[in-house]
Every structure is written in structure tokens, then in C-alpha cells.
Structure 1
Amino acid sequence: MLTIFGFTLSYADLIFIAIVGVLVGMSKTGVHGAGMLSVPMLAAVFGGQLSSGIMLPMLCLADVIGVWYYHRHAEWGHLKKLLPWALVGTIFGTVIGEKIDDQVFKVIMATIILVSVGIMIWLERGRHKDEVPHAKWFGALTGIAGGFTSMVGNLAGSVMAVYFLSMRFPKNSFIGTTAWFFMIINWMKVPFHIWRWETINLNTFLLDLSTLPLIFLGAYLGIIIVKSLPEKAYRWFIIGMTLLAAVMMFVRK
């Protein structure tokens, strides 16, 4: 066992944290779902709520990389519709998240992801897959759900994938819009984690900074992977990674 930045960690824990750093970096440069895979891994080391606070600065650092690389591809009209509702969902998640234990959290998150996957597959294979839903309630509901799931478990990726896939975004627009959305929402969550949940402090931030080289490595790998995938294959890749994340949430102890 080693004591690092006030945490007593085994070598297996350090390996998990290193893998999480790589996955977080990959998720921000287009390997959608990699970030959701990292959630149960970090929770296995630190538990549910604490791991959420430890992961958030990692996500914030990786968000900057994703926005820097894909910033020209964002669809700002959609972001303006989603972000105010996402703030509402974040506040709601801050209050409710304090009352959810790890087991309930796991079931709720896994269920949300599985429902999201079902909707994604329906959108891809349904008779009306080329019709884009423009109803205001769809954007509002997605924004609230995205803010809530992001706050309580850093797992809004599946919810937002449903929205962005339904908009029929090209690959780069999907990644660029997602990058901006999560950079804004993640930085918006930081004060809640510091002063309400108290899951971010100097020790957790130093631990996060130590993963920065691994985040850069993951971001580079993500760029390579995304470039190799054609548009249609990329959409199914998103669905597959999201489903795998849901399975991991169910089997997590």
C-alpha cells in the first residue's frame, strides 16, 4: 500500500486510476462512452460520491483538450437551448445526490443508460430515423436529464448522445458540440462539489493533476481512433460503448 496525496492506495488502485485517466482523455476527443466506462472503475477505488468529485477535475482538464481540438465544429444553436436546462438539472442533482446511496445510484444510472441505448437503437433503425425532433420539450428534458446525471455520477454522456444522435450531427459536429457542452457543465459543477458536497479539496486536485500525462495520452489515442471510423460506423460505435458502460454499472460491486 502507498500513501499518495493523503490517500492510501494499493498498486491495483493506481492501475485503475491510470486507466481512468486514459479513458477520460479518449472520451473528450470522440471515443464516446470511454468516460462512462471509467465511472465504475474509479468508484471501485473511492466509492460513489467521492469518486464523482475526484473525477470532475480530470474531466475539466480533458474538456479543455477536447474543445481546443474540436472547437470549430460546435452547433451553438443547440447548446443555447440545452445549457439553461442543464443548470436546472445540476442543481436538482446536487440536492438529490446527497440522499442516494451507492446501490441506488448504480441501479438508477444503469437504467438510464440502458433506456438511452434503447432510444439510440430505435433512432438508428426506426422508420422515422431521418426525422429530427424539434419540440422544445425534447431539448428541455434532455438538458435537465443531462445536468442531473452529470452531477450525480458524471454519466450524462448517454443522455446527451440520444439528443445529438437524434439531431443527425456529422461526426465532427457531434464531438465538437459535446465537447463544449461538457466543458461548460463540468466547470459549472465545480463549486457544488467544493462547497456543498466537499468532494474536491487540495489532495484530490493534486491526485487529478498527476493523471494529466495519461489524459493527454488518451486524448491522442481518441483522435486516432475517431479518424479511422466512417460516419455510420462511428454512430454504432457510440451505441456499443454506451451499452458496455451500462453493463459495467450493473456488475459493479
Structure 2
Amino acid sequence: MTELPSDPAAWALLAIAAALVGFSKTGINGTSSLAILLFAIVLPAKESTGALLPVLILADLFAIRFYSRHVEWRVLGRLAPWVVAGTAIGAVALWFADDSIMRVLIGAILLAMLALQLWNKLRPRFAGVQSDEPKAPTGLARRSAAAGAGIAAGATTMMANAAGPVMVLYLTLSGFSKLRFLGTMAWFFFAVNLFKVPISVGLGLIDWYTLLMALLLIPAVAVGALAGRALVHRIDQKQFEIATLVLSAVGAALLILSASAG
């Protein structure tokens, strides 16, 4: 990034995106997809992945402060080597992709992850399952799930900061309670995002302007994080998730169409 945005409308969109990131980290996961799209609208798509990363780390710190006592360290240890492998794959893709390709990649990744979330919600109905309680994988299934989720999360978070839906699916299928889910997500993404920083710097995606932008967006992140914590137990989660899925799907499709038109 060679300079900060000068348009007040651009800063308004960035502030909304930062608040959505904070809300997603401490409240209902899924609004971060909208933040990804807003950053990609204001900034060149490839640069947006680096610009969003420090904002995500700031939001991770709020989530750790609120939910760190509920982390499941064994799950994080099981995922770690696979996430490293997936991140390397994503870094290679970023090195060779130009801006229009990145827009298509980000849109496609979001659509795929949203479809995965939607399938996870609808699958019990199609299968005739009466219980809403997920069954935790065991043995080989657990190791295979960790490998697949780790590689997918590493690749998608490096390319588009969009690993949230992967981890939502993995932790939901593992039978996590709400607090264990939030605490484990907080530490997972804090560690992964810190790991991505030197890679993003090496790829030229993070510089002093990027860090300054993140500092200026701290108030918006804080507002979103506090709102997420306050509302997580007080809203109709099912309706909110449906709205988020629809809006994210529309945004991802528009991102792909804009790249094709360009």
C-alpha cells in the first residue's frame, strides 16, 4: 500500500468492516466474510488481504481477553502442522496471482465456504437426523478431519483471510460448546494470523501504511468486539446466520462479476 485512502466514504466502509471483524470474533461468526468483501472493495484485492490482517489480530486480542479460559489446546496442537502446510500453499498462490485473479479467488473461496456452512446446517434434515447435537469424530476420522480442516484453513486464511467457515464447521462437528468454541477460535486465529505476518511482509502485503490503517481502526474494532460480547446470548442466532450467509453470498458473487467485467 503506497498511501492511505483519502475518501471519507472509503474510511466509512473500512470502519464498518473493522467493526464487523470485532463482532465476528467475539459474537456470531460469519460477519467477517462481509469485512473481507468491504476491504476488497475499498482496496486492490491483493493488498486488501494484507491490510485486513493487522485488524484481525487486534480483534483476536479482544476475543482472547474475553474467552481465553475456554480454549481446547489439544485441538490446536492437532491442527498446527496441517495449518502450516496449508499456509504455505496459500502463500505460493498469492505470489503468482494478480489482482483480478485474487478477486475471483476471494469470491470463490467465500462462496465455497458459505456453501459448506449451509450444507452442514441442512445435512441433518436431509439425513433424517432428529438430534441437533453433532457427533465428535474419533480415531482415524478425527485425524483425517484435522488434516483436511488444517490445510483448508491455512490456505484460505493466507489467500483471503477466510478460514472462519472452515473452523466453524470443524469445531461444530467436534461437538464444542459455545464457550469452548469461542475460546478455541480466538487462540487459533491469533496464532495463525501472527504466523502469517512475516509471510505477508515478505510478499509486500504489509507495510507502515497498513499498520497505521489498523491503528486508526482500533475504535471500530473495539465497538464491534464489545457489541459481539454483549449480544452473543441475546439475539436469534439462526436468523442472523441466514442473513449473513445470504449477504456474504451476494457479495462474493458481485466480487467475481466485477473481476470478470474488468
TM-score of the aligned structures, taking structure 2 as reference length: 0.86
Q: Does the C-alpha gap of structure 1 residues 214 and 8 become closer, same or farther in structure 2, counting only changes over 3 Å?
A: closer
Root-mean-square deviation (Å): 2.1
* 2:147 matched residue in structure 1: 140
Distance 1:92 1:142 in 2: 14
Return the letter of the residue paired with 2:186: A
Return the letter of the residue paired with 1:22: A
Instruction: Please give the residue correspondences for 1:172-187 in structure 2 after superposition, counting only pairs within 5 Å.
Output: 172-187=179-194
Q: Would you say 1:248 and 2:238 are equivalent positions? A: no
After TM superposition, give the deviation of residue 236 of structure 1 in Å.
6.8
For residues 19-66 of structure 1, what are the alpha-carbon distances to aligned partners after superposition, in whole Å with 9 as ceiling and x for unaligned?
A: 011111111112201111100101001121100000000111111111
* 2:169 matched residue in structure 1: 162
* 2:30 matched residue in structure 1: 33
Instruction: Please give the residue correspondences for 1:107-122 in structure 2 after superposition, counting only pairs within 5 Å.
Output: 107-122=107-122
Return the letter of the residue paired with 2:158: M
After TM superposition, give the deviation of residue 107 of structure 1 in Å.
4.2
Distance 1:36 1:82 in 2: 22
Return the letter of the residue paired with 1:102: M
Return the letter of the residue paired with 1:223: R
Instruction: Please give the residue correspondences for 1:116-131 in structure 2 after superposition, counting only pairs within 5 Å.
Output: 116-125=116-125, 126=127, 127=129, 130-131=134-135
After TM superposition, give the deviation of residue 242 of structure 1 in Å.
4.1
Q: Would you say 1:105 and 2:108 are equivalent positions? A: no
Distance 1:226 1:212 in 2: 21
For residues 54-93 of structure 1, what are the alpha-carbon distances to aligned partners after superposition, in whole Å with 9 as ceiling and x for unaligned?
A: 0000111111111111001111121111122111111110
* 1:228 matched residue in structure 2: 234
In the alignment, which of 59, 74, 78 is matched to residue 77 of structure 1?
74
Instruction: Please give the residue correspondences for 1:40-79 in structure 2 after superposition, counting only pairs within 5 Å.
Output: 40-79=37-76
Secondary structure of the 2:27 match is: coil
Q: Would you say 1:194 and 2:198 are equivalent positions? A: no
Structure 1, 49-58 or 90-99: larger mean CA deviation: 90-99
Distance 2:26 2:103 in 1: 31
Tell me if structure 2 keeps the 8 A contact 1:37–1:248: yes
Q: Does the C-alpha gap of structure 1 residues 77 and 236 become closer, same or farther in structure 2, counting only changes over 3 Å?
A: farther
After TM superposition, give the deviation of residue 103 of structure 1 in Å.
4.0
Q: Does the C-alpha gap of structure 1 residues 124 and 209 become closer, same or farther in structure 2, counting only changes over 3 Å?
A: farther
After TM superposition, give the deviation of residue 153 of structure 1 in Å.
0.4
Return the letter of the residue paired with 1:173: R
Q: Does the C-alpha gap of structure 1 residues 160 and 124 become closer, same or farther in structure 2, counting only changes over 3 Å?
A: farther
Q: Does the C-alpha gap of structure 1 residues 236 and 168 become closer, same or farther in structure 2, counting only changes over 3 Å?
A: farther
Distance 2:33 2:248 in 1: 6
Return the letter of the residue paired with 1:220: L
Secondary structure of the 1:33 match is: coil
Return the letter of the residue paired with 2:89: F
For residues 160-179 of structure 1, what are the alpha-carbon distances to aligned partners after superposition, in whole Å with 9 as ceiling and x for unaligned?
A: 11101111211111111111
Distance 2:147 2:245 in 1: 22
TM-score of the aligned structures, taking structure 1 as reference length: 0.89
Secondary structure of the 1:84 match is: helix
Tell me if structure 2 keeps the 8 A contact 1:27–1:33: yes
* 1:171 matched residue in structure 2: 178
Secondary structure of the 2:9 match is: helix
Distance 1:62 1:150 in 2: 15
* 1:209 matched residue in structure 2: 215
The number of residue pairs the alignment matches comes to 246
Distance 2:191 2:124 in 1: 28
For residues 153-206 of structure 1, what are the alpha-carbon distances to aligned partners after superposition, in whole Å with 9 as ceiling and x for unaligned?
A: 0000111111011112111111111111100000000000001x1111111101
| Unaligned segments of structure 2, at least 5 residues | none
